[in-house]
Structure 1
Amino acid sequence: MLADELQHRIDFKTKPLGALGFLENLAHKIGMVQQTISPKLIKPYMVVFAADHGIATAGVSAYPQEVTYQMVMNFLGGGAAINVFCKQNAVNIKIVDAGVNFDFPEGLDLVDKKVRKSSRNILDEPAMTPKEYLKALENGKSVVKEIAEEGSNIIGFGEMGIGNTSASSLMMSQLFHISIADCVGRGTGLNDAQLQNKINILSKAIEKHSDLKTADEIAQTFGGLEIAQMIGAMEEAYQQNMLIMVDGFIATMAVSVVWKKNPEIFNNCIFCHVSDEYAHIKLLELLNQKALLNLNLRVGEGTGCALAYPIIQSAVNFLNEMSSFEDANVSNKE
């Protein structure tokens, strides 16, 4: 069996048994996804979905809504954290307008998948209509299909959208039946009074929308257009049998929606880092997943994926290039 063959290959490298720790688990996972004892990472990609949130106007973020489009322009100019780390680690990057409340000029290297300008204010109505939600899923899938056609077999997803930690907190509360207060963090840097105000606002949103049964209904009601497109993108990446690098709180929430529908997706997922966002640790615990890094990041954008990529590459490299005891004429333990 391939699983046994991979484990034997890992165990008989020139090292004490298990000495490469979590890298060994990672190498085994990648080999199983690619169904080979000699896996390869081909043309890594990072896709950053951007969209605005209607609830941002209610004061749930420390930053104004226009920061979303301003940061998209920063991505396109190569000046954001995700640009720096992708360039450093030779990861390709695409920026997707999923629903930014702004008319971008033509000629930009921006993938236009805008469903509408901003999600609706969930204090008044669901974030998306069922038709808009399905369109967002399809748009996310189409982005990944094109990347897969280029030969890429590993992809990560980031996001930009003022208000999207609020959307994710609401989704987490409803998907896992947890108090909203246990799912809310400081997002872009709220103080204590602002944090309590955020909890109060989100509590009202939950009171407004009850009797949501499926993961898709929860995402459509409370999510954002960038989160919905990420959900579709993750579904397509799994269908293409790509390795899926999962970033922080928002990305983990998106993959949780897919997992509720198809638990098998975790076979392809690599959780890249533990966000400094309060609820992310709890969410990873609920999903029984371990992340590669804990750097107290809370910038979003997919930065955790880009930083973790060299570690993922290291897992592949040791499996392919490290000598076995027999090859190196090194005595194994008795």
Structure 2
Amino acid sequence: MSLDWLSAPCIQPATELADAARAHQLQLTKPPGSLGQLEAMAIQLASLQRTAQPAVDRVWISVFAADHGVAEEGVSAFPQVVTGEMVRNFATGGAAISVLARNLDAKLEVVNLGTVNDPGEIPGVRRAIIAPSTANFCVGPAMTEAQLDAALDAGAQSVRAASKASVQLFIGGDMGIANTTSAAALASALLDEPPSSLAGAGTGLNAAGIKHKVSVIERALVLHSTAKSAVEQLRCLGGFEIAALVGAYVAAAQAGIPVLVDGFISTTAAIAAVAIQPEARPWLLFAHRSKEHGHARLLMALQAEPLIDLGLRLGEASGAAIALPLLRLACTLHNGMATFEQAGVSNVD
């Protein structure tokens, strides 16, 4: 399998529709800019969707699950078996994202890329098994080239399915014990930042646990210091689900589907996606600022301003799902408010 598709051009946003949407906002019965980010999001969506009336009613959520070899280093407060158990919980409707997707009338897809305790065939779960887990990146690269190819393609497959369903927004989520360690390591490499500025509590580590996590990442960065390209850094330090998110984000931009990015793991994938394919950046909207240490730094690197900050750190695409109603309201306000002329209200000179 070739990675040439990653460099294929992305669809360009329609700047003329952004200009029209911006002009429309100035005519609505409110002080200019008074709806803040809701105005900006509606304008961005109008440009991306190439329409005067943007909408995010049809939403596709893909949650990618996979295990990580670096869990062997004791970097998580939860045992590794939880990943496979949560795959079943997603499918049977008991997880936070399952509840949120039902209430938002969003399509939820669960993709199992490989867990140490394989739950087997489960209705509602797409099996795209690559391996039981990545390799321990303190010993060698997390993935082989073939495994990275497969993980990236798994994300692109989800976007292809979403595109066939004519969705208006794609959301990617993650599940994988030790994946905050993998994400922090990858982000450290991509941004050339020390792990101490990016590694946090994850599933609930104490101060000693975080210190150990940082030391594990430092060892990995030394081992993989020759990996200079974003693709190689992803292969050496990433996870199957992180790579799937990268593939999904690039594929969404190529297909013309806006993306609402979730938390720390998803934003790390967004940084990798933009490093690999810079044209993907305009297609990424950002849902929330996670409580996970380092997420604010990632958002800053992308010059991203998220919609909400509620101290969330669950993953699963839950933060993006929680922010979705605000995005819907942004569209509703943009499309439904009266103009000054329509309402007979005096505008500023």
Sort the TM-score into its range (normalised by shorter chain): over 0.9
Aligned position for 2:34: 19
Aligned position for 1:194: 209
Q: 1:206 to 1:198 in 2, by over 3 A?
A: same
Q: For the residues of structure 2 that align with 1:320 and 1:260, how far apart are their CA atoms?
A: 34
Quick check: 1:305 aligned with 2:320?
yes
Q: Deviations over 1:251-279 (max 9, x none)?
A: 00001111112222221111000011110
Deviates more, 1:45-54 or 1:72-81: 72-81
Q: For the residues of structure 2 that align with 1:276 and 1:166, how far apart are their CA atoms?
A: 15
Q: For the residues of structure 1 that align with 2:104 and 2:192, how far apart are their CA atoms?
A: 39
Offset at 1:40?
A: 2.5
Task: Quote the RMSD (CA, aligned, Å).
Answer: 1.2
Aligned position for 1:121: 136
**8 A contact 1:42–1:151 mirrored in 2:** no
Q: Deviations over 1:143-193 (max 9, x none)?
A: 210121011120101100000000011111111111111111010110111
Aligned position for 1:217: 232
Q: Deviations over 1:271-324 (max 9, x none)?
A: 000011110001111221111010100110001110011111111111111111
Question: Tell me, what secondary structure is at the counterpart of 1:48?
Answer: strand
Offset at 1:230?
A: 1.1
Aligned position for 1:109: 124
**8 A contact 1:153–1:241 mirrored in 2:** no
Q: 1:140 to 1:318 in 2, by over 3 A?
A: same
Q: For the residues of structure 2 that align with 1:327 and 1:38, how far apart are their CA atoms?
A: 17
Select the residue among 67, 81, 93 that pairs with 1:78. 93
Q: Can you give the 5+ residue segments of structure 1 that lack an aligned partner in the other structure?
A: none
Aligned position for 2:247: 232
Runs of 4+ aligned structure 1 residues displaced above 3 Å come to none
Select the residue among 286, 307, 320 that pairs with 1:292. 307
Offset at 1:42?
A: 4.4
TM-score of the pair, normalised by structure 1? 0.97
Offset at 1:103?
A: 2.7
Number of residue pairs matched by the alignment: 334
Paired residues for 1:151-190 under 5 Å? 151-190=166-205
Quick check: 1:52 aligned with 2:67?
yes
Question: Tell me, what secondary structure is at the counterpart of 2:294?
Answer: helix
The letter for the 2-side match of 1:323 is: A
Quick check: 1:38 aligned with 2:46?
no
**8 A contact 2:259–2:285 mirrored in 1:** yes
Q: Deviations over 1:115-164 (max 9, x none)?
A: 11100111111010011101111121112101210111201011000000
**8 A contact 1:49–1:96 mirrored in 2:** yes
Q: For the residues of structure 1 that align with 2:257 and 2:162, how far apart are their CA atoms?
A: 10
Quick check: 1:135 aligned with 2:143?
no
Q: For the residues of structure 2 that align with 1:243 and 1:287, how far apart are their CA atoms?
A: 16
The letter for the 2-side match of 1:222 is: L
Give the % identical residues.
37
Q: Can you give the 5+ residue segments of structure 2 that lack an aligned partner in the other structure?
A: 1-15
**8 A contact 1:42–1:153 mirrored in 2:** yes
Q: Deviations over 1:231-258 (max 9, x none)?
A: 1111111111111010001000001111
